[in-house]
């Protein structure tokens, strides 16, 4: 089965750069229809986890603690297996940095922007019941998805650092999953698209951002059913911003690597531990993230 939420720190995205850093192994793996998921995920990020690259803040050091609650369900869509996921995070943030000659520290607590995702396995993803799934072969999967991030998180136009982005973000993506014995190989290609923030700091500016192309690759090994270990990597590029028409020097071309361990508990529960860190950083990926997620699943 798929684990619903890979990491909740990515859900805290206050800019496109944070959103692009997702690492989600087995996102398009085969599943039967009628599976429900509830996930509670706790995460911590430390280092240069902030900040919007168009803000005039330097020497940023931050820690972000978060808890995310998610729900998901698989269902049949035109005879293909589909998955809908919704996740809502709460964050506690402490950050220090320098604006000009002034050094300061801030704290934030509140809701971050939620996420909604719909994915459909188009090739090799025929909608089957739990009983049929147990007997069916595991073909190569080719799927598509769309993620939406609405501007519902905490945002104050007079503050430099916020938990919400005050704009919509969308990510269409195509992915494949290939099972070879106990090995699973995943690859995804997507692009983040952003609407404008018309209340950017100090509240009267307009901020836009170019798309960010994102690639992911994962290799995982199944030790026994629902007990697996994955090596994760992502690369993303783009995201140059403009504030009131003035282009910023914040083009991103970064990569991150990580690992994921999934441990089963009984028939319905599992625990997932994920860690990641910046591998090559041009702007905005120099931080470390640890996430622990508990999942409960059941069938209709």
Question: Which CATH number goes with the domain that contains 80?
Answer: 2.40.128.130
Closest CA to 19 of 198, 211, 175: 211
Query: 47: buried, middle or exposed (CB in 10 Å: 19+, 13-18, 0-12)?
Result: middle
pLDDT at 72: 92
Is residue 18 scored above 70 in pLDDT?
no
Is residue 255 scored above 80 in pLDDT?
yes
Q: For the chain, what is the domain count?
A: 1
pLDDT at 49: 65
Dump pLDDT digits (tens) for 260-285.
999 998 889 999 999 998 877 656 66
Average confidence (pLDDT) over 220-235: 94
Evaluate whether residue 1 is within a structural domain.
no
Dump pLDDT digits (tens) for 158-203.
988 888 989 999 999 999 999 999 999 999 999 999 999 999 988 8
Total-model pTM: 0.89
What gap in Å lies between CA 68 and CA 63, rounded to an integer?
A: 16
Q: Tokens at residue 136, please?
A: 């069916």
Average confidence (pLDDT) over 228-256: 91
Evaluate whether residue 3 is within a structural domain.
no
Give the phi and the psi of residue 12 in degrees, each rounded to 5.
-85, 10
Evaluate whether residue 38 is within a structural domain.
yes
Residue 29 and residue 138 in contact, taking contact as beta carbons nearer than 8 Å: no
What gap in Å lies between CA 98 and CA 104, rounded to an integer?
A: 6
Evaluate whether residue 4 is within a structural domain.
no
Evaluate whether residue 2 is within a structural domain.
no
Confidence at 206, pLDDT banded by 50, 70, 90: very high
The answer to which of 42-51, 87-96, 187-196 has the lowest mean pLDDT is 42-51
Mean pLDDT of the chain: 86
pLDDT at 54: 62
Average confidence (pLDDT) over 115-131: 91
Evaluate whether residue 250 is within a structural domain.
yes
- Calculate the alpha carbon distances from 73 to 8, 25, 37, 83, 300 in Å: 18, 18, 6, 6, 10
- Which domain, by its residues, includes 40? 9-299
Confidence at 78, pLDDT banded by 50, 70, 90: very high
Average confidence (pLDDT) over 46-52: 68
DSSP letter for each residue of 80-110: EEEEEEEEEEEEEEEEEEEETTEEEEEEEEE
DSSP letter for each residue of 114-164: PEEEEEEEEES-B---HHHHHHS--PPEEEEEEEEE-S-S---TT-S--SS
Residue showing tokens 């995702």: 117
């Amino acid at each position: 089965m798929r684990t619903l939420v890979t990491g909740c720190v990515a859900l805290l995205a206050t800019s496109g750069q944070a959103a692009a850093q997702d690492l989600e192994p087995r996102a398009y793996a085969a599943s039967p229809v009628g599976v429900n998921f509830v996930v509670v995920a706790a995460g911590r990020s430390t280092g240069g986890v902030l900040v919007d690259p168009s803000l005039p803040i330097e020497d940023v050091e931050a820690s972000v603690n978060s808890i995310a609650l998610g729900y998901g369900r698989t269902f049949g869509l035109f005879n293909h297996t589909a998955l809908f996921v919704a996740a809502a995070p709460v964050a506690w943030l402490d950050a220090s940095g320098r604006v000009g000659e002034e050094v300061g520290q801030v704290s934030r607590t509140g809701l971050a922007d939620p996420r909604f995702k719909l994915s459909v396995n188009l090739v090799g993803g025929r909608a089957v019941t739990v009983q049929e799934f147990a007997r069916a072969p595991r073909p190569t999967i080719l799927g598509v998805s769309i993620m939406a991030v609405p501007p519902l998180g905490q945002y104050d136009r007079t503050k430099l650092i916020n938990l919400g982005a005050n704009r919509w973000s969308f990510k269409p993506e195509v992915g494949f999953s290939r099972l070879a014995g106990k090995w699973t190989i995943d690859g995804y290609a997507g692009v983040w698209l952003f609407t404008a923030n018309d209340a950017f700091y100090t509240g009267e500016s307009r901020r836009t951002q170019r798309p960010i192309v994102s690639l992911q690759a994962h290799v995982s090994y199944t030790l026994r059913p629902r007990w697996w270990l994955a090596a994760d990597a992502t690369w993303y590029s783009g995201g140059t911003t403009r504030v009131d028409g003035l282009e910023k020097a914040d083009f991103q071309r970064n990569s991150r690597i990580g690992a994921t361990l999934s441990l089963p508990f009984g028939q319905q529960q599992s625990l997932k531990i994920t860690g990641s860190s910046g591998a090559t950083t041009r702007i905005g990926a120099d931080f470390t993230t640890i996430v622990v997620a508990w999942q409960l699943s059941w069938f209709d």
